[in-house]
Chains A and B, each alone.
Chain A
Amino acid sequence: EAGVVQSPRYKIIEKKQPVAFWCNPISGHNTLYWYLQNLGQGPELLIRYENEEAVDDSQLPKDRFSAERLKGVDSTLKIQPAELGDSAVYLCASSLQNTDTQYFGPGTRLTVL
């Protein structure tokens, strides 16, 4: 069974440019998470989806970050415009609804120059 797929794996952009990350969760997983992980830190939740509904986006900086999960499967996280401080690893995870175990993708490492 395929795991959580993320692309791209690495992205280097200049500040003020837009960037988008894509995530394909494990088939059948209703819940999808986007996390941000800074170097030496644990992941921090940005947004959680139950199917196509964003049920927790309280930590998402909505002035520059946006996310969508059309049709309740794949999801896209966008930053526009990117800032130097956005350099981090962006992780996607999925789980069956109302369960504890999350399955993580490999992450996208973003470098903003």
Chain B
Amino acid sequence: KNEVEQSPQNLTAQEGEFITINCSYSVGISALHWLQQHPGGGIVSLFMLSSGKKKHGRLIATINIQEKHSSLHITASHPRDSAVYICAVTGGAGSYQLTFGKGTKLSVIP
């Protein structure tokens, strides 16, 4: 079973700061997902990546397959970015089941 570890567990930042959240996993994967969960429960998929880097607005996700590590970056953070960010992976060989990390709670202070 894949073990997914995220760091930090909690993160407080001032508005405008550059933020990095890290994710590592123990076993080879077919894809890694970054998800955002706002208070109230709804989960939104931000990125799905299997190599390299993806960018969407102020969000950037990178993955290093050899290192089994991914990072989510937020540039020019804003209070509306406050949420829990969850890393999840899907295994290889046609397995689409997600294994989730515990999440990183981000609070951006004005």
Whether B97 lies near A107 (C-beta < 8 A) is no
Please state if B42 and A106 are interface contacts (CB–CB under 8 Å).
Answer: yes
CA distance A41 to B101 in the complex (A): 8
Please count how many residues in chain B sit with their CB below 8 Å of the partner chain's CB atoms.
Answer: 23
Q: A86-112: which have CB < 8 Å to B?
A: 89, 91, 93, 95, 98-107, 109
Are A103 and B97 within 8 A (Cβ)? no
Do residues A42 and B101 form an inter-chain contact, with CB atoms below 8 A?
Answer: yes
* Contacts between chains A and B (CB distance < 8 A), count: 54
Stretch at the interface among A15-23, A43-51, A61-69, A73-81: A43-51
A85 contacts the other chain (Cβ, under 8 Å)?
no
User: Quick one: closest A residue to B90, CB to CB?
Assistant: A100
Interface status of B96 (Cβ within 8 A of chain A):
yes
Query: CA A42 – CA B9 in complex, angstroms?
Result: 12
Bound-state CA distance A42–B43 (Å) is 11
Contact of B45 among A40, A42, A103 (CB under 8 A): A103
Known: A100-B30, A100-B90. A45 touches B44 (CB 8 A): no
Name the interface residues of B95-110: CB closer than 8 Å to any CB of A. Answer: 96-98, 100-103
A91 to B37, CA, bound (A): 12
Query: What are 6 residue pairs bridging A and B, where the CB atoms are less than 8 Å apart in the complex?
Result: A31-B96, A42-B4, A45-B98, A89-B41, A95-B96, A106-B42
A42→B6 CA distance, assembly (Å): 11
Residue B88, interface by CB 8 Å: yes
A43–B89 alpha-carbon span in the complex (Å): 12
